[in-house]
Amino acid sequence: MRHVTRLLALATAVPPYSLDQEAVVERVKRLFGHSAMLDRLLPVFVNSGIQRRYSSVPLDWYDEPHGWADRNRRYIAGALDMLETAAGRVLDRAGLSAAELGGIVTVSTTGIATPSLDALLIERMRLPRNLARLPIFGLGCAGGVIGLARAAEMARAMPGKTVLCLVVELCTLSFRRGDHAKSNIVATALFGDGAAAALLRCGDGDDGPAIIATGEHTWPNSLDIMGWDVADDGLRAVFSRDIPRLMEAELEPIVDEFLVRHALRLDDIDRFVCHPGGPKVLDAFEQVFGLRPEALDEARGVLRDYGNMSAASILFVLERTLARSRAEGRPWGRALLTALGPGFTAGFALLGEE
């Protein structure tokens, strides 16, 4: 009998400081002063679809300059706090103890930790010393989907063992008060901090959506579309304004190819769980998949309440989609998870009932 890898439980966490979007706009005006560039870009804040976000540091922290070392210390401290919270919640929801874990996958792109975050968390939470560890860096917004895929592969390689998949991003630490570049202003309008934890296991008798298939596609000649530049005062956001156009022009055949490999078509998908990178990104997903606006209500709700948390966002959307499925009392059916990140890469995961 073929064993099935299932998502046993999912949990999320955010840092303590809530940033109201209107308060952020006022702080940005004060920090940058009057400029033609800022005046042109301020509508990005209003049109972002975001009401609030969460930050690992209070709003007044951004009033002073901070170098790379300070930002990275804040990253490690904030990431560990959120990961500990999310991991504790997901174990409680699954009714499992840490001693039952066999592997851990940790995904993050907004800071550097060596020893990696998973090693630091093993020490902090007294997790099993024989855990198989897989830290993943550099996937950006695609990291939630691809990290889940790697965790599913690990679970299949150790049937009966539970794998903990952790995703954490502290995007707000990339704000650079002396940088008037468009990419910095747009990032300031969109980014928030958050973490998510998922438990997966390959075996019999478990409940939860099955991880039916995973995949990814990296476009040629696309390395400059999204990523980070490393500067003395932190990470500088790089993203192209052409991302929605690229999605509308080229994403559909890539998704079709992924689904055909598993004898499926878009019409066979019941739920779409899309990364809420921004309003234009969600509009592009609607066009590519031929969706009504309400089909992405959960994604727009996560964007409204948390901003773009990079890799963590898709798991926040998945958590809301699972909750909606339970509330409606409808079968889960098949759900397609889709996110895009540096590379330029699209990540896919197909969840269903098996």
Q: Just list the catalytic residues.
A: 141
| CA distances for 50 relative to 33, 36, 43, 185, angstroms | 23, 23, 12, 15
| CA distances for 26 relative to 15, 29, 179, 192, 245, angstroms | 22, 5, 17, 17, 31
Is the bond preceding residue 344 a cis peptide, omega within 30 degrees?
Answer: yes
Tell me if residue 63 falls in helix, strand or coil. Answer: helix
Low-confidence residues in the chain, pLDDT < 50: 1
| pLDDT at residue 1, rounded to an integer | 43
* Strand intervals (E) in 150-295: 162-170, 193-203, 210-218, 226-231, 234-239, 271-274
> Does this chain's domain 4-203 share its CATH topology with 210-352?
yes
Q: Structural domain boundaries of the chain?
A: 4-203, 210-352
Q: Say what the alpha-carbon torsion angle 48, 54, 55, 57 is, to the nearest 10 degrees.
A: 130
d(CA 111, CA 173): 9
Tell me the pTM. Answer: 0.94
Q: Which of 328, 327, 47 is nearest to 185 (CA)?
A: 47
| CA distances for 208 relative to 81, 152, 274, 288, 299, angstroms | 27, 13, 20, 28, 21
d(CA 161, CA 155): 7
* 85 and 195 Cβ atoms separated by less than 8 Å: yes
Within 13 Å, how many C-alpha atoms sit on residue 97's CB side? 4
Q: Which of 190, 192, 198, 138 is nearest to 167 (CA)?
A: 198
Residue ranges of alpha helices (H) inside 59-142 are 68-94, 117-125
d(CA 48, CA 39): 16
d(CA 158, CA 305): 37
- Domain 4-203: CATH class, spelled out: alpha beta
Do β-strands 101-107 and 132-136 pair in parallel, antiparallel, or remain unpaired?
Answer: parallel
d(CA 299, CA 224): 26
Place of tokens 């007044």: 60
Task: Specify the CATH superfamily of domain 210-352.
Answer: Thiolase/Chalcone synthase (3.40.47.10)
Record the tokens describing residue 147, joined without a space.
Answer: 């990290």
| Cα 269 → chain centroid | 21
Place of tokens 């940005």: 28
Burial class from Cβ neighbours inside 10 Å (0-12, 13-18, 19+) for residue 222 reads: middle
